Homo-oligomer: A and B are copies of this chain.
Amino acid sequence: MNGRLMSPSRAPVRQSSVRAHNLALVLQTVANSADRPSRAGIAAATGLTRATVSALVDDLIAGGLLTEHGPAPRNGAGRPATALALSPDGPAGLGLEINVDYLAACVVDLTGAVRHRFMTGAPSLAGLAELAERARAAAAEDGLELAGAALAVPGLVGAGGLVRVAPNLGWQDVDAIAFLRGVPALADLSITVENEANLAALGELWAGEGEPTFVYVSGEVGIGAGIVLDGDLYRGGRGWSGEIGHVTVYPDGRPCRCGANGCLEQYAGVAMVAEDPALAAAALGIALSAVVNLLDLDVIVLGGGYAPAFGQLRDGIEAELSRRVLTAGLAPVTVRPAALGADAAVRGAAGAVIRGVQEDPARWLAQAV
């Protein structure tokens, strides 16, 4: 989602890159600030000089990304600071989701507030297009310009956003981006497609407890995981990371629809959780122990169908983790339920769009002229 500017980057850096970076730095400092910081506060937090921060902030205000809020009363002496905040009228993100039994769309503004939500129960590409149009119209009525759209799909997404396989939708090699771009009302939007669990993990990153590194496990018909490392989604070489549903739990166990035996999905699918929570918890614990042993994560977030059953799953999972994670004795592993419910993926999708703006405001400023 973001490139590295430092080491193995093969791109030259010029002054404009410096400005682009520092614009992002200032914008993100405001975004991550609990209160509304002043220019001087941003300078102190970032290490930039106040002169530079002023210049950068001017650009961001002119571009509609930041707004000034009247001087807050101070407690000591000195000129009062003018508070800065993300502009609720800045570029918004359109999140879309297509799933087995519903469609969803939502509009999130630059501040992260959900401005509109739509759902229907008839999952089809045509319905998705219609929902997207409605969401865009609602955004336009608020005077919101969209910075782009992201679509969450329960399947494997390949290069260029091509959906290679989405078993529960019956999709194979579906070019959802091309379809959406074909809709007149969406033709000018930049659209991306991403795995549902990955976007839900991003949603959790934004709306949850704020841990920068965790694995989000979503239990639905299938089981997917989104891996967030250091505030960034880990996608893997081809974007197919997090297929925890087909991690082997019992090598000679139940046959899976994927052709293997003993996949986690056969023991901890959402139907199993209701039927035999102890079995599901043990299987989840075994698979999650592998995740922690391999990736050294200390936070596990249970989402989707697992969140409501958290109370029934927790002990079983933690028992396996404490037994099977090599470093369990050195540092604890936290298991917690997701903060977001069923709309984690749509909100993550919309959030991914505005996060893109926050991470590279210079691009937005350039194209918005």
Interface residues of A (CB under 8 A from B): 2-15, 17-18, 21-22, 24-25, 28-29, 46-48, 52, 156, 158, 164-165, 213, 225, 227, 229-232, 234-251, 258-260, 263, 282, 286-287, 289-291, 293-298, 323-327, 330-331, 359-360
- In the complex, A18 Cα to B16 Cα: how many Å? 10
A6 and B13 form a contact (CB under 8 A): no
Contact of A294 among B7, B259, B290 (CB under 8 A): B290
A291 and B294 form a contact (CB under 8 A): yes
Considering only CB atoms, which chain B residue lies closest to A6 in the complex? B5
Stoichiometry, as copies per complex, reads 2
Instruction: Report 23 cross-chain contacts, Cβ distance below 8 Å, ordered by A residue.
Output: A4-B5, A5-B5, A6-B359, A7-B28, A8-B28, A10-B29, A12-B25, A12-B48, A13-B17, A234-B295, A237-B297, A238-B331, A241-B294, A243-B326, A246-B326, A247-B293, A247-B294, A248-B289, A248-B290, A249-B251, A259-B323, A294-B294, A295-B295
- In the complex, A237 Cα to B297 Cα: how many Å? 6
Q: List, in ascending order, chain B residues with CB within 8 A of A47's CB.
A: 11-12
Q: List, in ascending order, chain B residues with CB within 8 A of A247's CB.
A: 289-290, 293-294
Q: List, in ascending order, chain B residues with CB within 8 A of A17's CB.
A: 13, 18
In angstroms, how far is the closest chain B Cβ from the Cβ of A366?
A: 17
B21 and A238 form a contact (CB under 8 A): no
Q: List, in ascending order, chain B residues with CB within 8 A of A234's CB.
A: 229, 295
A296 and B238 form a contact (CB under 8 A): yes
A7 and B290 form a contact (CB under 8 A): no
Considering only CB atoms, which chain B residue lies closest to A47 in the complex? B12
- In the complex, A253 Cα to B191 Cα: how many Å? 48
Contact of A227 among B246, B286, B294, B324 (CB under 8 A): B294
Considering only CB atoms, which chain B residue lies closest to A230 in the complex? B8
Q: List, in ascending order, chain B residues with CB within 8 A of A331's CB.
A: 238
- In the complex, A359 Cα to B260 Cα: how many Å? 43
- In the complex, A245 Cα to B9 Cα: how many Å? 33
Q: List, in ascending order, chain B residues with CB within 8 A of A263's CB.
A: 324
- In the complex, A52 Cα to B13 Cα: how many Å? 11
Considering only CB atoms, which chain B residue lies closest to A7 in the complex? B2
Q: List, in ascending order, chain B residues with CB within 8 A of A290's CB.
A: 247-248, 287, 290, 294
Q: List, in ascending order, chain B residues with CB within 8 A of A239's CB.
A: 296
A25 and B46 form a contact (CB under 8 A): no
Q: List, in ascending order, chain B residues with CB within 8 A of A21's CB.
A: 5-6, 9, 13
Q: List, in ascending order, chain B residues with CB within 8 A of A15's CB.
A: 15, 18
A236 and B7 form a contact (CB under 8 A): no
Contact of A237 among B245, B298, B323, B326 (CB under 8 A): B298
- In the complex, A7 Cα to B260 Cα: how many Å? 40
Q: List, in ascending order, chain B residues with CB within 8 A of A291's CB.
A: 294
- In the complex, A241 Cα to B293 Cα: how many Å? 6
In angstroms, how far is the closest chain B Cβ from the Cβ of A105?
A: 27
Query: Top 6 A-B pairs ranked by shortest CB distance?
Result: A236-B296, A5-B5, A2-B7, A5-B6, A241-B296, A240-B296
Considering only CB atoms, which chain B residue lies closest to A235 in the complex? B296
Q: List, in ascending order, chain B residues with CB within 8 A of A260's CB.
A: 323-324
Q: List, in ascending order, chain B residues with CB within 8 A of A293's CB.
A: 243-244, 246-247
- In the complex, A241 Cα to B213 Cα: how many Å? 13
Q: List, in ascending order, chain B residues with CB within 8 A of A289's CB.
A: 247-248
